[in-house]
Every structure is written in C-alpha cells, then in structure tokens.
A and B are shown apart, each in its own frame.
Chain A
Amino acid sequence: MTTVDDRSVAEAEIGRDRRRKEDARLITGRTRWTDNITLTGMVHLAMVRSPFAHARVTGIDTAAAKQSAGVVAVLTGPELGEEMGVLINAWPITPDQVTPVHTPMAVDRVAFAGEIVAVVAARSAAEARDAAELVDVDYEELPAAVDLKEAAAATPENGGALAHPDLGTNKSALWIFDSAEAGTGSDVEEAIARARTDGVVIEREFRQQRLIPAFMEPRSTVVDPTGEQLTVWSATQIPHVLRFAMAATLGIPESKLRVIAPDVGGGFGGKLQLTPEEWLTVALARRLGKPVKYTETRSESLMSAHHGRDQWQKLTLSATKDGTVTGLKVELLADLGAYVAIVGGGVPVLGAFMFNAIYKFPAYHFACQTVLTNKTWTDAYRGAGRPEATFGIERMMDELAAELGVDPLEVREKNWIKHEEFPFTTVAGLEYDSGHYEAATERAKELFEYDDLRSEQRRRRESGDPVQLGIGVSTFTEMCGLAPSRVLGSLDYGAGGWESAQVRMLATGTVEVVTGASAHGQGHETAFSQIVADRLGVPFEDVEVLHGDTQVAPKGLDTYGSRSLVVGGEALVKASDKVIEKAKPVAAHLLEASVEDLEFRAGTFSVRGTEAGISIQDVAGAVFAAHNLPDGMEPSLDSDATYDPVNFSYPHGTHLCAVEVDTETGQVRMRKYVACDDVGTIINPLIVSGQVHGGLVQGIAQALWEEAVFDESGTLVSGSFVDYLLPTAADTISFDLDHTVTPSLTNSLGTKGVGEAGTIASTPAVVNAVVDALRPLGVEDVTMPCTPQRVWQAIHGAGSGGSTPGAAMPHFESGGAAGNQEQPGASSTEGAGQ
C-alpha cells in the first residue's frame, strides 16, 4: 500500500505549493455566485424590515405595495403562517435552555431592528424594493433589552426590559464545567483562597466586543419549484445541514430537496446559519410556483446576518509567587441577540475547552450565562468561542507576568505542557495528542528578533520617547476538526461530526472525488486533489473535486470549525484506500500474479521482483470494459467512506507582535508580526499561509478597528461599510510566517487544521502589545477595539478607554487608573456565577 512516506520527495503532491485549480475561473469572472443565477420567469424578493429593536406590530397595510408596478405578491407573517416554517437551534446547551420561537417573519412582535415583517415579490429586484417602500407598518414600541449586563440582570420584578416578555427572563442557559466535579482537576475556590494568602491572584474583566463576519459576497438564495425536486441555491457554508433542516421544518420530504452551494464568496462562520431569508424564499417559490430569488443588500447583511463574539469575561487566576498557575475561574456573559441561532449558545461553550489553552492548570471552573437581547442574533464567527477564550487567557498570562515582573514568555513556559509530556489530558478533559510549544516559540523569537526589540523597547522607555514600543505575545492552541460525534452527542449537539467522501475511477483514467465538505474560498479543490493524487498515484490534473450540491455529494456535514481537511481529508484517504483494495485483485488477475505478490507504488501495481506492472488508471479502464475480470467481481472500483474523528486536533503556535504607540495621539502602528504555527502536516504551504494571513487580519481587526455598535434604542449604528471598519490594504502590513511540524497522531495524514488559527492567536497578541507599550504609564488594559481615542484615554488615566461613542453597551464607568476593572467584591458579570 502506498503511503506518503515511501514516495520520493520530488513526486509527492503533499507539501507542494500547487497553484489553485479554483483560480482559473475566479480571475476571469467565469463565476457562479448565487446572485448570478437567472431562471426564466424568475420573481425577485425584497424584505420589509423593522426599524425598531422591540415593538408590537399593530397593523400592516400592503394595499399600495400590491398596486405597485410589477408586483406579484406581498405577504406578511400572519398571511404566510405555518407555510414559512420555523428556524431551529441545533445545540440546546442545557436541558432547560430558554429558547424563543423563531419564525422567519415576525407574526405580531419584532425582537430586533432588521427583523422581517413583510415580503414583496416582483418582476425585478428594483420593482420589489420600490414596492417594499410602500408597505405601511404600524408599530407600538416596547422597551428594548440592549445592554448585555442590564439584560442579564432584568427580571419582571425589577422592571428591566425583557427581549421576549412572554419568557419572563432574558437568561437563556447557564452552562457550567467544574474540574473538581468532572474529576479532571481540583477545586478552584480552594486554589484561589490559598493564593490570596500566599500567592498571587489576578482578577480582570474583559470585553469581547460584538463583530460582524462581513463576508464579501452578500447572501443570496434562488429557489426553483418547477422540477420534481425543489432546488435551492444558496450562498451558504452548509448545504447539507440546510437540506436536513428544511426537510425537518418545512414539511418537504428530504428526498424532494436539492440544495446547491455554488461559488460562495466567503463565510467565516457567517454563512453557517439557517436564515429567515432562505426559509422565506422557499415559501414564496412554493406559493407562487415560480423560481424566486432574494439577494440582500450590504446594509441588510450587516444588520440581519448573524454577528459574532459579544461577551463579558470575568476572570480570576491564582498562582504561586514563582508564577505557577494554580487555578482559573471563568465567568462569562454571552449575548445571544434576539434568538438562539443554529449553534447559538454553543459558541461560548466551545470556548470552555480552550481557556486552559496550552497550560497545565490544576483547577478550573467555567460558567457561561447566555442572555437574550433585542439585537441581531449571534453565532459562529471565525474561531467561534475559541478566540474569546484565547484572548481571555493570553491577556491573563500577560497580566500575571506583569504582576510578577517577569517576561511574558517566561511565565508561559513555566506553565505550558512540555513536548515530552504529550499525550496530555487537560483540566478541561481533552487529550492533546501532540505539540511542541518550545520549538514554535524558539522559532518565533528568532524570526522576530525578540531580544533586539526588547532592547529597543528599553531604550525608548528610558529616553521617554513619545512613541513607545510594545511587544505582544500569544501562545495559542485550538481544537479543530469538529468533531467526534460521540463528544457532540455528550454535549447535546443535534448532529454528528463525521464527513464523507467518494472516489470514482472513470473509464479514461481520470478521477472524480466527491466530498461532503463545502468550500467557500478555502481551496479544497486543490488541496484535496493533492491528497488523492498522492494516495492513488495519479496526476494532480487528473483529479476533479466535486462538492456543494446534495445531488452530487449526497452526504456531508459541510465546512466550519477547521474540519474540512482534518475530517474530510481523512475520509478521502479512506475512500482512496478502498479503491486501491478493489483494484488489487483486478491487477493481479490481469498480471496473472497472486495478490500477495503485488505491491502498489506511485500509482502502479507491480509484481515483486519482476518488471511486470499495470497502472491503477489502466485497471480502471479494464474494469469499465469488464471483459476480463476475476470471477464474480463487481465491475466497479468506486468507493466511499465516512470518517468519524476519534479526537479533535490541536494546532498551536506562537505569535509575536510589535506595535508603536504614539502616546501623544493614541495612534497604534503595527511594526512587525511573526507567526510560527504548528498545524501538523501541511498539504499545500501556499494555501496554508493564505489562511494564516487572512486569519491574522481578522483577528487584528478585532483588536484595533471593528465593532458592531448599537445605540441605546437598539439600532445598529455601524450598519454600513462606512461605519463598520473593515481593514484595507493600507491599514495592514506584511507578515513573517514560519511553521514547526508535529503531525497529529489521530489521523493518517497528520493534519491539524488551519482555518481559524490566525484569528484566534492574533487578537490577544495585538492587545498585549498595546498594553505592553503603555504599562510604564500605569495602563493595564485597553478595551477593544483599541482606537486612538481609547488608547489616549487609557494613557490619560481614564481607564481602558471607555465606550465607543453611541455604544449601547457602555464599558466600565471610568474610575481612575483602574478603569476597566471593577471594585473588588462587586459582581458585574451577574448571573455567570455558580
């Protein structure tokens, strides 16, 4: 059997920086975005959305809209009724989770600004939009639960605003993990009590601001009801999950549904959703019997596609005086927005396994209270729970280092798992299979010229330079390859975590590979071709990867959580191996040899000790003809495999960031960024570095620029690209990347996943750098995004910089230099305790 290792380096596809197969179409405009699809007789939709965060809908007058030119239909929630189905949460994190009913269109009450109250169908998109303007809706405003902390504290008794008054509470679920209870560690309260008398206790509260995924392709859905199957094209990451959920909630047999994700322009978790717009497009197509298209505008996308992050994190870390951490206590408030989305409260729960990061903490307690508010719903955004956790712990490790007056890398090294200690079972109960934190850190320091930059920092500090240098460290790990189905089951997630693949040998020797993963920019067609080309020993060009259509790839669980390569790639390997096993007896038959004497190498079966051989592609031709096969053999080499991972994979890395902070203006300038990641075996280094670059900028953007800001009435203020600051080329710098490699031991390729690494690692690296620059000035935190104004305020004693002007979620009332930090004893993260 061929394995990667026994092929010569020159011919190995794995590890080669192949240019992408996808690009030929994308760079010439030969694309199939959903909005490009036009079908004869197609009708276009426009949505009428609530301008209010919370209101009763007292009347909708659609008469004028119905008279408007080109209008086919105008429908409201009560008119569509059950036809529109319902949207589901796939992960109730506790048995008693409070989950509001989420209909695709409001029936009598809206719970966030942007919620749909009526839908217009017309001959053209412009006519639909014109008519939508004419729909007259009467609202009776209700008090809106906007601020996360206030929402968590609201009760019917204290008169606080409730996002859904009928539920009687804004608290959705409280999810707790305790290492003493789970038997994975000791009691955290004891550890903290001990450290209070004889050690160090660090207590901090951090804000994870709300972000918007802001994929570049607005979401779009086309539904064609004119065939036997209802065909749905959607700009989604999850065509298979979508088909399942539509079948389950719309009363359409699954076999009558075909879902296609054609070219999809980015997702980052933002297209891992079951959306009201998709459900309504299906409902209208069924009702009208015509193909229907809906494409959102960017403003609609920013307002109504789900947001990410949005937590308050209250952290308590205990350590001995030499810097050995003895316990970590995490209390989170997580904002769900108006509804519990498909993953919903599961996002912060994923973070529960990552707060302990790469460290050997003996005691750990995690509690997360999810909270409903009258804002856009939240769900996965690149990293989903893990960036939040990594930010929290990596900021805390820097705070511990500062408290002890030691280098932040030293305190990390004291606590991290040494390479000889793998496999290591963590205090959160996961088994890390492999890693080498020392090596990645060493390499990153070298690339960064760490000691030189520290000297420069010292010089600038001593000379009182108005421009101070800050150095930020982030030694992260993450759990990828979502996920072992049994683990998902134990967490009450509604599905498994396997992935499926098919390998079809065509008569002419080319190979069709079908994957249940659904790419939207990741380069699967290229990387998966490399894997199969290597495994089968066929040319890279002869492999065609098919995906994203339930008719072509009937089984799959799609793309998110850095799972495609780790889980989907392994399924490909298994399917390829089955092809080889099936081909072997045919080859033996044709070579008139016994199966035992055959070896398979570089695509050829040969008889040991002879010159005789036949390529697998020729075997495929012989099987197609089926003239001369072993007796009783089925004339097919086609194979499929479904792989359920046995563990997560755990990429890690050391990221170092240098920033220059102008203490007179508060301006932060990126000077240097080094990332040394260990993502296990690398299939295509070009694609891997692209993933890291893009991830880095998304994480850096959280640290410095991006925030979804709501005013106190619950209106999204940052509702266009004018106000929501996506970084441009001019804001960013070039990065220095390298890799160390410890292969994953739980899959045969040794891959670990890379899609989210950059985003997870970079946010704390940047904020740590900003704080590091300012620490001599008494600053110990700057609230994200670290805008010049916040940095300036932090320097001038106004704490961590205060809230974004117009923000509905005021950060801490600034009170002297302690700023962001609350008074000891006060519990501002109310409800997240035990």
Chain B
Amino acid sequence: MTRIKLTVDGMAVSDDVEPRTLLVHYLREQLGKTGTVVGCDTSNCGACTVHLDGQSVKSCNVLAVQADGGEITTIEGLADTVPDRADGQLHPVQEAFRECHGLQCGYCTPGMIMASVDLLNRNPHPTEQEIREGLEGNLCRCTGYHNIVRAVQYAAEGEQP
C-alpha cells in the first residue's frame, strides 16, 4: 500500500492504495466518483477521460500513485470549474452536448466532454477536421459523432450550430 494525497473535484483526499491500482478504479471504487466510467481494457475508448492538472488523461492508463500530488477534475466537478458559476449552471461544453443532442446512451459522454474541454482549451476555434482528429481517442457507438462535432463547434462559437 502506498499513501497518496491529491485533490479530486476540489476535495483534498489522502488514501492508501495498492501500487497497481489504476486511477479510474481509485476514483470509482474508493472515492465513489462513478461519473467516470470504464469502457475498455486497452486504453482505446476514452470513456474514462478526466483532467489531471488541467490536461485530459485516460484514467485507466494512469496509476493512482502517479496522480499523487495532482489535481483531478472529473465530469462530476467540471461545472465547478466555471468562474463565478451560478447555482446549477453547467460548463459550456456540457450545455453544448445537451443543446446539440451530442449524446444518446451517455456512456461515452463523460469522457467525450472532458476530452472536448481539453481540445477547446488547446484550440479555442477548431475546424471540423481538427475536432474530429482531436476526439480520435474517444469512441462513441451511438451518435455517429455528427452531433458531438456540432456540440464542440457550438461550444467554441457560443452560438447556434
């Protein structure tokens, strides 16, 4: 067991973890952060995407011990990162996914939203092709990506797609 200390969605936590524990299992099983999900065992699907120190990572591809000292944001805490957030207000990318029907079953959605936020942080005005390539690490089986691309465009433009 190794002691780790980190911040998850604004909460300071300190836990003993097995060295082999993946970050995603630590989040889900030890912290109850079940908003982040597991879709594969080969780091291909991106369903588990969270932010570690502001950058998107696949949390099934990071050991919990590697996140020691870090700051994690999951889908559950994303809206809280909005400055001067009003009560119940969503993050603009969450809002965009709802507005553009960028989700159906919603299983890929936490990862897809976290990846999209990171994409827009790095490139606030992406082209359609840049969005498509930027989300290549996240699989969705329901939407055919059409409305996911619209959602990212909508969030980027802050206007009707």
Is the beta-carbon distance between B145 and A29 smaller than 8 angstroms?
no
B residues in contact with A721, CB < 8 Å: 40, 42, 44-45, 139
Residues of B contacting A727 in the complex (Cβ-Cβ under 8 angstroms):
145
Binds B, one of A446-454, A626-634, A687-695, A824-832: A687-695
Which listed segment binds A: B51-59, B61-69, B92-100?
B92-100
1/0 per residue, CB under 8 A from A, across B81-117: the answer is 0000000001000100111010111111110010000
Query: B149: which A residues are within 8 A, CB to CB?
Result: 729, 734
Pick 20 A–B contacts, CB within 8 A, sort by A.
A19-B98, A28-B94, A33-B34, A216-B140, A217-B37, A217-B105, A218-B38, A266-B141, A298-B42, A686-B101, A690-B104, A694-B104, A694-B143, A694-B144, A695-B144, A698-B141, A721-B42, A721-B139, A729-B135, A734-B146
Tell whether A539 is near chain B: CB-to-CB under 8 Å: no
Q: Which residues of the other chain, A, contact B33 by a CB distance below 8 angstroms?
A: 29
A29 touches B128 (CB 8 A): no
Q: What's the count of A-B pairs with C-beta under 8 Å?
A: 175
Quick check: B105 and A521 within 8 Å, CB to CB? yes
Using known A-B contacts A29-B75, A266-B104, determine if residue A726 contacts B144 with beta carbons closer than 8 Å.
no
Residues 110 to 137 of chain B near chain A (Cβ within 8 Å): 110, 113, 128, 131-133, 135-137
Asked if residues B75 and A28 are in contact (CB atoms below 8 Å), the reply is: yes
A116 contacts chain B at the CB level, 8 A cutoff = no
Check if B76 is an interface residue, CB within 8 A of chain A.
yes
Contacts of B47 in A (CB 8 A): 216
Given contacts A726-B141, A735-B144, contact A27 B40 (CB under 8 A): no
> In the complex, which of the residues A31, A215, A522, A730 contacts B141, with contact meaning CB atoms closer than 8 Å?
A215
* Contact code string A724-747 (vs B, CB < 8 Å = 1, else 0): 001111101011000000000000
Given A31-B106, A696-B144, verify A20-B37 contact (CB < 8 Å).
no
Q: Which of B28, B99, B105, B138 contacts A266 (CB 8 A)?
A: B105
**A495 lies within 8 A of chain B by Cβ:** no
Given contacts A263-B106, A734-B128, contact A27 B94 (CB under 8 A): yes
Instruction: Select from chain A the residue with minimum beta-carbon distance to B107.
Output: A265
Residue of A25, A523, A691, A730 contacting most chain B CB atoms (<10 Å): A730
B39 A29 Cβ-Cβ under 8 A: no
Is A520 close to B, CB under 8 A? yes
B18, B90, B140 pick with most chain A CB within 10 angstroms: B140
Cα distance A214–B75 in the bound complex, in angstroms: 23
Not counting A29-B74, A729-B135, a sample of 5 additional A-B residue pairs whose C-beta atoms are within 8 angstroms of each other reads A20-B101, A31-B37, A214-B141, A215-B105, A727-B145
Is the C-beta of A297 less than 8 angstroms from some C-beta in chain B?
Answer: yes
Give residues in A with beta carbon < 8 Å to B.
19-20, 22-31, 33, 35-36, 126, 214-218, 263-266, 268, 297-299, 520-523, 686-687, 689-691, 693-698, 720-722, 726-730, 732, 734-735, 758
Flag if A216 contacts B108 (CB, 8 Å).
yes
Choose from B42, B74, B147 the contact partner of A722 (Cβ within 8 Å): B42
Output the least CB separation between A526 and chain B (Å): 10
| A558 vs chain B, min Cβ distance (A) | 16
Answer whether residue B155 sits at the interface, using C-beta atoms and an 8 A cutoff: no
Decide: A693 and B103 in contact? CB cutoff 8 A: no
For the complex, is B79 an interface residue (Cβ under 8 Å from A)?
Answer: yes
A693 to B137 Cα, complex, angstroms: 20
> Does the CB pair B99–A19 fall under 8 Å?
yes
The answer to whether B72 has its CB under 8 Å from any CB of chain A is: no
Name the residue on A nearest B103 (C-beta).
A26
A298 to B105, CA, bound (A): 17
- Interfacial chain B residues near A690, Cβ < 8 Å: 101, 104, 142-143, 147
CA distance A715 to B135 in the complex (A): 31
Complex: chain A residue closest to B100, CB-CB: A686
Q: Which residue of A lies closest to B35 (CB)?
A: A29
B148 within 8 A of A: yes
User: Total interface residues on B, using CB and 8 Å?
Assistant: 55
Q: Which residues of chain A come closer than 8 Å to B139, judged between CB atoms?
A: 216, 721, 726, 728
Partner of A28, one of B41, B90, B104: B90
Nearest Cβ in chain A — how far from B143, in angstroms? Answer: 5
Nearest Cβ on chain A to B45's Cβ, whole angstroms: 6
What's the Cα separation between A720 and B97 when bound, in Å?
28
Assuming A23-B97, A217-B105, is B146 touching A266 (CB within 8 A)?
no
Asked if B133 contacts A730 (CB within 8 A), the reply is: yes
Q: How far in angstroms is the closest Cβ of chain B from A20?
A: 7
Using CB atoms, name the residue of chain A closest to B98: A23
CA distance A732 to B99 in the complex (A): 21
For B137, the chain A residues whose CB sits under 8 A away are 728
Beta-carbon contact of A265 and B106 below 8 Å: yes
Nearest Cβ on chain A to B138's Cβ, whole angstroms: 8
Q: Is A693 a contact of B109 with CB atoms below 8 Å?
A: no
> Min CB distance, A382 to chain B, in Å?
10
| A693 & B147 in contact (Cβ 8 Å cutoff) | yes
Top 5 A-B pairs, shortest CB-CB distance: A29-B35, A521-B105, A265-B107, A26-B106, A697-B144
Q: How far is the CA of A730 from the CA of B135 in the complex (A)?
A: 7
In the complex, A695 Cα to B132 Cα: how many Å? 18
The complex places the Cα of A728 from the Cα of B134 at a distance, in Å, of 10
A268 touches B101 (CB 8 A): no
In the bound assembly, the distance between CA atoms of A266 and B75 in angstroms comes to: 20
What separation, in Å, do the CA atoms of A20 and B151 have in the docked complex? 14
Looking at the complex, which one of A31, A265, A735 makes contact with B146 (CB distance below 8 Å)?
Answer: A735
Least Cβ distance of A721 to chain B in Å? Answer: 4
Q: Is the Cβ of B107 less than 8 Å from the Cβ of A720? A: no
B99 → chain A, closest Cβ, in Å? Answer: 6
Least Cβ–Cβ distance between B7 and chain A, in angstroms: 17
Q: Which residue of B lies closest to A17 (CB)?
A: B101
Among B35, B42, B145, B146, contact of A30 (Cβ-Cβ < 8 Å): B35
Distance, CA A806 to CA B105, complexed state (A): 34
Set B25, B39, B148: member contacting A217, Cβ < 8 A: B39
Task: Give chain A residues whose Cβ lies under 8 Å from the Cβ of B98.
Answer: 19-20, 23-24, 27
**Given A23-B98, A694-B144, A33-B37 contact (CB < 8 Å):** yes
> Whole-angstrom distance from the CB of B126 to the nearest CB of chain A?
12
- Taken together as a complex, chains A and B put the C-alpha atoms of A686 and B105 apart, in Å, by 15
List chain A residues, Cβ under 8 A from B18.
126
Q: Kindly report which residue of chain A lies nearest to residue B148, judged by CB atoms.
A: A729
Q: Which residues of A contact B41 (CB under 8 A)?
A: 297-299, 720
Asked if A216 meets B105 with Cβ closer than 8 Å, knowing A27-B113, A729-B136, the reply is: yes
Q: Which residue of A lies closest to B37 (CB)?
A: A33
> What is the CA–CA distance of A520 and B105 in the complex, to the nearest angstrom?
6
Pick the contact of A29: B36, B40, B148 (CB < 8 A). Answer: B36
Residue from A20, A26, A722, A727 having most chain B Cβ neighbours under 10 A? A26
A827 to B1, CA, bound (A): 65
Check A217/B107 contact, CB under 8 A, given A28-B94, A29-B76, A690-B101. yes
Among A23, A28, A734, point to the contact of B79 (Cβ < 8 A): A28
CB-defined contacts of A720 to chain B, threshold 8 Å: 40-42, 44
In the complex, chain A residues whose CB is within 8 Å of the CB of B140: 216, 729
Counting chain B CB atoms within 10 Å of each CB, the highest count among A24, A218, A299 belongs to A218
Q: How far is the CA of A214 from the CA of B139 in the complex (A)?
A: 11
Q: If the complex has contacts A29-B75, A31-B35, A720-B40, are A697 and B145 also in contact, measured as CB distance less than 8 A?
A: yes
